[in-house]
Chains A and B, each alone.
Chain A
Amino acid sequence: MCTETATRKFEKVCQILDLHQRDPSKLIPILQEVQKVYRYLPEEVQAYIATGLGLSPAKVYGVASFYANFSLEPKGKYVVHVCDGTACHVKGSSLIKEALFKKLNLSTEKKTTEDMMFTVEAVSCLGACGLAPVMTINDKVYGQVTPEMAAGLIDEIADEEKK
């Protein structure tokens, strides 16, 4: 089904589609794996997946936009998730989010820094409620976080990146 130019351009997507036997019911695992490659789901890739599975682009976009883990915009190299579950919320997670927003000049609307280094998002419960408040940076969990500690972690990463 892949034409030769498309195959070259979307080689990895093609491989992922083949791995799932181009089965339309495997759309969610396919999107998950494709997102691992691109760090988000570019529109043209969604259209390509739709063609590859024999679905309409609207259907693929519908699924991609429904689930919180799919991103339609590129994310930064470091994705910071601030847990906003109940336990974290009552223990002051909003102060951590505000501290990170302030530190990186971000907001609820603007989640990623200009240099594509950091993305900060509030997420629903990460399930480490015993350590509330919790945040993760690229899946590494930090517990009992304070606003100062959160800002310090950002500094550490930024310093590491400068080297």
Chain B
Amino acid sequence: MPTQKIDLKAVQDDFKARIARVKRRVVICAGTGCVANGALDVYHALADAIAARKLDVVLALNEEKDSDAYVSKSGCQGFCQAGPLVTIEPEGYLFCKVRPADVSEIVEETIIGGKPVERLVYKHPANGQLYAKRDEIPFYQRQNRHVIGDCGVLDPENLDEYIARGGYEAARKAFVEMTPETVCEEIQVAGLRGRGGGGFPTGTKWQLTLAQESAKKYVICNGDEGDPGAFMDRSLMEGNPHRIIEGMMIAARAIGADEGYVYVRAEYPLAVQRVRKAVEEAALAGLLGDDLFGTGLSFELFVMEGAGAFVCGEETALIASIEGERGMPRPKPPFPAQSGLWGKPTVINNVETLATVPLIIEQGSSHYRTMGTEGSPGTKTFALTGHVVNTGLIEVPFGTTLREIIFEIGGGVTDRFGNPDPHGFKAVQIGGPSGGCLTAEALDLPLDFESVKGIGAMIGSGGLVVMNQDTCIVQVARFFMQFTQKESCGKCVPCREGTKQMLALLDNIIEGRADESTLPLLEDLAIAVRIGSLCGLGKTAPNPVLSTLRYFRDECQAHVVQKRCPTGQCKALAQPEIIAPLCKGCGACIRKCPVNAITGEKRQPHVLDASLCVKCGACAQVCKFNAIVGV
């Protein structure tokens, strides 16, 4: 297909000229979270309402003309808790939880009047203070949205806008002004480390692949984000797909590859669609294909949808999956840098890593090193979820503490009803199934790759799940073990059998069958699985268990020795009881109990003898007053 070479400068000037004649820009967050909350209805309602007021509104910036408002959709703006989100530029107002019924007010007060709609601005849950401007909200103010920032502004389906913000400039620079060696060098000096979990230096990976003699090399973008509780890769693929393509082009230039694959997780249909569209548009504009930037070099990009296997996040398993095989890892070495896809030298990078690359090439490694710590430069995105006031996607420099993240950006911990609870913090799970649960003691630890590893967890892909006092930590460990056991591909014995046995031991603890030998056995087994497994999945699967045994030994012991769950979440360990103030003395439970464990006079609170109870639950089923607990 003949393509027309794009003139980046001309597109930039043209877009800037078009946007300059727009009075106000309305950006509606169309990330998955906000769409689920009805953002698209808001989009249509707003467009209709502006048109009904006979204002000049444009939904696509195709031509240069004056207009009152340009309404566009963006990728994830990060503050999922408060969605659907609507941002108004140039003032920078942010409206939260917008409903279609609110749009006429937005049109009258903001688009015409230039004032915020007070009812819709962010209200601090603790002190009730109102924040009209997005950058003033503590959630945003304390972040450094270096990599994900553009996601919340630009229209992910508009190539022109990406270019207007300086997009593909870094790729041009890498192809025209730099050599493969200098590109590798720049990334190496910047100290960029892989964001997929391992933290391996990206520059080293590229240099190793560049050094391989081969006519054919590949670049793969690992978008198989399987860690439960992490969604930054999804947001980047949905919100800024061109940045990822540009990152891959630079990687291709660095190692001398002419073909690439984006492997997107199947659970992310919108990401698949957006990346596919972006690749098509980039190819049409001549940014992908042959003779890039007049250098005679080519790079072709393909999108592959995963089929649902967590282990495919492991690079050798992912390669097997692209080749049409079962996604099973193989021993390393040889590393993909030596023998990867179809046996050729291959670079595999995570989405967030690749999205960072154009920024480093554009702004230089020294600027990049001004953020973060010496050993872990730059910023990291975290998915902040669980029992926390502000859930969403955040980005902070490495070295930020958990306290700042959870209490300042996150606004503190919530109780089971979702209300702020200043004393509610129990633990934070970092790094998903390869990470661990950390206690309040870790709150002041500056987060970077080494420090987190030092306390037995992992930054991993960046999931942060905050847990309140009602969460049973043994059940959390069991949850991750069940996950890794299910996702173990079965190739190596330590992982396949070890995860199964660890899960059985955790079940024993939760169901009251454990004895004093259980915890030491669990610990031994966890260490054996860590040492003996073939790939990262098995090697890190014991982390949640080991960190739980290390930091929550007392809670584990209570389950084992006293047969008691301190949080009351483990049903089998619960003490059956009738709550006297709730009991009306109707006698329904007495008649149902098969072992005559309940006694009492009519219209008087009944009593349950726990030593006779078999926890069949029949009494609780007939009780109309929910007075019976623990059965």
Contacts and interface: CB of A to CB of B under 8 A. Distances in A.
Interface of A: 24-29, 31-32, 62-63, 66-70, 84-87, 89-91, 123-132, 134, 139, 141-143
Nearest to B232: A127
Contact of B37 (A31, A85, A143): A143
A38 B230 CA distance: 32
A142 B487 CA distance: 25
A8 B383 CA distance: 50
Contacts, number: 134
Nearest to B268: A127
Contacts of B304: 28-29
Contact of A86 (B306, B326, B429, B489): B429
A138 to B, nearest CB: 11
A143 B227 CA distance: 19
A90 B471 contact: yes
B15 interface: no
A94 to B, nearest CB: 10
Interface in B289-335: 304-310, 321-327
A130 B80 contact: yes
Contact of A70 (B80, B307, B310, B393): B307
Contact of A68 (B32, B307, B476): B307
A64 B352 CA distance: 30
Of listed A25, A86, A128, A143, residue having the most chain B CB within 10 A = A86
B422 interface: no
Contact of A66 (B81, B225, B326): B326
B81 A90 contact: no
A86 B465 contact: yes
A132 B391 contact: yes
A130 B323 contact: no
B36 A128 contact: yes
B324 A24 contact: yes
Interface in B395-446: 429, 432
Q: Sort A-B residue pairs by CB-CB distance and give the 6 closest, nearest first.
A: A130-B80, A68-B308, A85-B228, A67-B307, A87-B385, A69-B308
Contact of A130 (B265, B392, B467, B487): B392
Interface string B223-253: 0011111110010000000000000000000
Contacts of A127: 32, 225, 230-231, 234, 265, 267-268
Contacts of A131: 33, 36-37, 80, 83, 391
Interface size class of B (residues with CB under 8 A): 35 or more
A123 B483 CA distance: 10
Contacts of A132: 385-386, 391
Contacts of A27: 324
A84 B267 CA distance: 13
Nearest to A140: B36
B465 A90 contact: yes
Nearest to A87: B385
A118 B558 CA distance: 42
Given A86-B228, A125-B267, A134 B307 contact: no
B35 interface: yes
Given A66-B326, A86-B465, 20 more contacts: A25-B322, A28-B321, A32-B305, A66-B309, A67-B308, A69-B266, A86-B385, A87-B385, A91-B386, A124-B228, A124-B483, A127-B225, A128-B33, A129-B80, A129-B229, A134-B36, A139-B269, A141-B35, A141-B36, A142-B36
7 contacts: A62-B326, A66-B489, A86-B463, A87-B383, A87-B385, A130-B81, A130-B391
Contacts of A91: 386-387
Contacts of A139: 269
Contacts of A70: 307-308
Interface string B79-105: 011010000000000000000000000
